[in-house]
Amino acid sequence: MVRYLCHLVIGLLLLMPVRVGLAQSLEIIDLRHRPAEEVLPLVQPFLAPGGTLTGQRGQLFIRTTPANLSEIKALLATLDRSPRQLQITVLQGEAADLADDESRLNASIGLGGRGRLAVGEGTGSDTAELRVRRSRSRTRGDEIQRVRVLEGRAATIYLGQSIPVGSRSSTIIPGGVQNTDSIEYRQVERGFSVLPRISGERVMLEIGAQRDQLSRSGGGRIEVQGISTTVSGTLGEWIELGGVVNAGIQRQSGVIHRSTEHLEDKRRILVKVEQLP
């Protein structure tokens, strides 16, 4: 009898996951204002473990627990509405940060009756060292672009620039070779594709960016700097996407030790999304 009861308890325990799985039901939800492709990435993080979520066009197909289904329906009540009017601001600039600008004065003062003052690299116990350290930063070449877009629609911010590129051609002529120098202008492009998706006060951005620049190796070659990423942030706040960092230089001189270090020279890309009334 005891063995029978043990087997019965074990069997019930094994059936519990199946019962939980059977508690999940399939629900088809019709969307009124937004396509499923826009809503899916916003709802997916709220799906309970073991649930499934798919969709196409104006319908979502959800298999989850009744409690989780109620939560998702409440979320959809805030998401499935007429898209909001948004303003996207993109800031590009060369941020040159002078992070270290240090002046140091070493002085030693004798304690004798006559007294003495020495300027230099003192090492004794009667040496005082004064350090002045400051940080400065500046941003140059800022470019601000603004565009209005409906929520869930992609916006492209595009800026072109012509830069001079020198070239030389050689022509064989009687008695030698004639070299001709010329300058032509080439178009370099900077473009941003921004797709905002909003959930409450949070915004998720799908970013595709391109910035062309003249190659440092010369020859008139154009290099392409690209960014393709997804980031999230808060409505109305700046979101930094990335940049290019170049190592700086150091120099020292004088009896009063002065060190200047250029730590960063990078291209900053910032995006801000605001809801318009």
Q: What is the pTM of this model?
A: 0.46
Helices (H), 23-108: 36-43, 66-79
Burial class (CB in 10 A: 0-12, 13-18, 19+), 57: exposed
pLDDT per position as a tens digit, 94-123: 654 433 444 444 444 444 545 444 444 455
2-82 placed in CATH 3.30.1370.120: yes
Residues of the chain with pLDDT under 50: 2, 6-7, 9-10, 12-22, 96-111, 113, 115-121, 127-140, 243-265
* Closest-CA residue to 72 (of 199, 194, 167, 182): 199
* Structure confidence at residue 164 (pLDDT): 64
* Structure confidence at residue 231 (pLDDT): 84
* Structure confidence at residue 163 (pLDDT): 59
d(CA 75, CA 200): 10
Q: Give me 237's structure tokens.
A: 């706040």
Q: Give me 67's structure tokens.
A: 């409690």
Domain ranges of the chain: 2-82, 86-275
Q: 184 Cβ partners below 8 Å, 6+ apart?
A: 164, 165, 167
* Structure confidence at residue 17 (pLDDT): 45
* Structure confidence at residue 95 (pLDDT): 54
* Structure confidence at residue 101 (pLDDT): 41
